[in-house]
A = this chain, B = another copy of it.
Amino acid sequence: MNEPDFIAALRALPLHPGARGLMDDSAVIAFGTETLVITHDMMAEGTHFRADADMADVAWKLVATNLSDLAAKGAEPVGVLLGHMLGRDDARFIEGLRAALTAFDTPLLGGDTIAAAGARALGLTAIGRATHVPVPSRSGAQPGDGVWITGPVGRAMLGFEGSSEHRAAFDRPVPRLAEGRALAPLVSAMMDVSDGLLLDAFRMAEASGVTLALDLAAVPVADPAQFEKCIRWGDDYEVLFTAPPAAALPVAVHRIGTVAPRGPAPLLLGDTALADPASLGYRHG
């Protein structure tokens, strides 16, 4: 099966209500007096990291990308479980893991370590505690809301392509945990921009049943000369959100558009309606 077919088949299984129909970045579970936010992401050699990648960076990124899903829910990290396949440079992996867990004040909870042949696959489960209920979803954007992003897109792309200034943006992204917590009580919808601004904005519009009208001139990009690539590339882990236009936003953010009732397409870039997500993302390694 390809990925969309497999996910469609998963959606037909018995789902927890907190799975949110497998349409969101994280599961949200009311658990006693608290609300748990939980997410699991995998990274595979050859697909998500190169065979010669610094394993310390891989460990960092594995932690950071999962914590970014918590950030988009305004959740505070409780801990992580690691699914590790042994391989080259495990000591470097441990160093990167230590750096990330320390930087994000997140302890290790457990996991599993296996030996296996072939390309390596690594998994991480991140567990967080919701700081605001209801926990933000992708699906709450309302017509009339503004659309904002927490920072520029394209930095990871430039880092991947060799810019020393932006190298860390690709190798060691920083999840917007503080921003997500500060914004959670105010937003109508929120998600992290892991797969590119256009594709993720498209998904938010789809989940919310609205059209996101983006003002491209207002989108902050790391390199204006490569604007079209910047708004399609992923791995930046900024937070995209919608909120009532008069919301008193507590962090520095960039207003990049307005939520409209669902028009002919989920995404409107100036006068251009984009209905096909296939053209929106930028495939990369």
Contacts and interface: CB of A to CB of B under 8 A. Distances in A.
Nearest to A66: B112
A108 B40 contact: no
Interface string A15-54: 1101100101011010111101011111111111000000
Contact of A112 (B1, B19, B40): B40
Contacts of A98: 13-14
Residue of A40, A83, A97 with most partner-chain B CB within 10 A: A40
Interface residues of A, number: 70
Contacts of A118: 44-46, 118-119
Interface string A42-75: 1111111000000000000000000000000000
Contacts of A10: 82, 94, 97, 108, 113
Given A31-B32, A44-B85, A85-B121, A3 B113 contact: yes
A1 B109 contact: no
A33 to B, nearest CB: 4
A218 interface: no
A117 interface: yes
Given A16-B78, A32-B31, A102-B14, A83 B6 contact: no
A107 B14 CA distance: 5
A110 interface: yes
Interface stretch (A123-131, A144-152, A237-245, A250-258): A123-131
Interface string A92-119: 0010011001100011111111111111
Nearest to A95: B9
A22 B110 CA distance: 6
B117 A79 contact: no
Contacts of A47: 114-117
Contact of A109 (B16, B85, B107, B116): B16
A222 interface: no
Contacts of A117: 44, 46-47, 119
A262 interface: no
A91 B1 contact: yes
Residue of A7, A24, A113 with most partner-chain B CB within 10 A: A113
